[in-house]
Amino acid sequence: MMPDIPAWIALPATLLLIVGGLLTLVGSIGLLRLPNFFMRIHSVSMGNTLGVGCVLVASMLIASAVAQRPVIHELLITLFVVFTAPITAIVLMQAAIRRTKPPKQ
Amino acid sequence: MKRIPVLLPLGLAVLWLVLTESLSWGNVALGLVLGFGMVLSFQNLRPVTPRFRRVHVGFGLLFKVLVDIVKSNIAVGRIVLGLTHGREVRSGFLDIPLDMRDPHGLAVLAMIVTATPGTVWSGLADDSSVLRLHVLDLQDPEAWIRTIKHRYEGPLREIFE
């Protein structure tokens, strides 16, 4: 059974989930719409920065309300995402630069 | 004999405490042992120990980066959805001269620019003097150079150099 979640927590959490989902969706649409790899790599980072951020804050709100105490595990997820995602992006970028002739400025 | 780092093991210990959600003495001790044990055993893999000068500058920087991530998410979202008022979006590489040489500062700078949608770190000259960025919307190169140098590089140099 779900315990009652007060409205002042449920509302912002819902909003954050919607915004996070929309941001990730727009980022994924960018994967389809943008013409080349160098442009597409930018739209992916929408989902894994603010998109994930919104979902994690929502998760903190709901988990804290359910457990009746502050739950801050999600900060660790944020930390690990912030540490690892840029490394992937940089490595992909290096690979792309070496494999293709990048468009001149 | 190298200086024994303190901040990194303490940080790892705090990470352990958050992860296990317990503040009992035994767990604190375990976290400290793990933190110091890991850092000491990996020390030979970390050739340079960072020196922190003005750590408080970091809080301001963190706030600025959060604001920039929100702003650039909106900017990239508009470009993806084609809401640019008919303006053609030109993306490309941009070379930015850097004054920072500290590897830790450069690493943090790489994380900041790559975590911000719209810019991705694409290379660094061998002597760390030029940073190459790929920018999604290269409308005003001067503005990008100003942003990187004053908004990020300045505070990072205060912290690490």
Assembly ipTM: 0.81
pLDDT tens for each residue of A14-26: 999 999 999 999 9
Tell me if chain A has a CB within 8 Å of the CB of B19: yes
| Structural domain boundaries in chain A | 7-99
Query: What is each CA distance from B81 to A33, B48, B67, B73, B94, in whole angstroms?
Result: 9, 44, 22, 12, 24
The CA-atom distances, in angstroms, between B88 and each of B12, B24, B71, B139, B145 are: 47, 59, 20, 9, 21
Does B31 touch chain A if contact means CB atoms closer than 8 Å? no
Nearest one of A53, A45, A46 to A74, comparing CA atoms:
A53
Mutate to test the interface with A, among B78, B80, B89 (most CBs of A within 10 A): B80
Both structure tokens of B39:
């850092």
- CB of B21 within 8 Å of a chain A CB? The answer is yes
> Of A46, A50, A89, which has the smallest distance from its Cβ to B114's Cβ?
A89
Does B11 lie at the interface with A, CB-CB under 8 angstroms?
no
- For B40-98, write each residue's pLDDT tens digit: 888 777 777 777 788 788 888 999 999 999 999 988 888 888 877 777 788 888 898 88
What pTM does this model have? 0.83
- Mean pLDDT value across chain A: 85
Identity of the residue in B21, B92, B111 whose CB atom sits nearest the CB atom of A105: B92
In the block, tokens 């002042």 appear at A8
State mean pLDDT over A3-11. Answer: 82
For residue B1, name the pLDDT band (cuts at 50, 70, 90). very low
Residues in chain B: 161
Environment class of B55 (CB within 10 Å of its CB; exposed 0-12, middle 13-18, buried 19+)? exposed
Contact call for B117 and A94, based on CB within 8 A = no
Q: Is B94 on the interface with A (CB under 8 A)?
A: yes
Percent of chain B whose predicted confidence (pLDDT) is above 90? 7
Beta bridge partners of B119: B135
Amino acid at B100: M
Cα dihedral across residues B136, B140, B142, B147: positive or negative: negative
Q: Residue B18 pLDDT > 60, yes or no?
A: yes
**Could you say which DSSP state residue B132 is in?**
E
**With DSSP H G I counted as helix, E B as strand and the rest as coil, what are the percentages for chain B, rounded to 5?**
55, 10, 30
Cβ–Cβ of B136/A42 closer than 8 Å?
Answer: yes
Does any CB of chain B come closer than 8 Å to the CB of residue A64? no
Q: Where are the domains of chain B?
A: 7-45, 57-160
Q: Could you please report the per-residue DSSP string of B19-45? A: HHT---HHHHHHHHHHHHHHHHHTGGG
Spatial separation of the C-alpha atoms in residues B27 and B19, rounded to whole Å: 11
Share of chain A above pLDDT 90, in %: 23
Q: How far apart are CA B122 and CA A47, in angstroms?
A: 20
CB contacts < 8 A, A to B, total 96
Task: Please indicate if any CB of chain B lies within 8 Å of the CB of A100.
Answer: no
- Which residues in chain B touch residue A40, judged by CB atoms under 8 angstroms apart? none
* Chain B residue nearest residue A51, CA to CA: B73
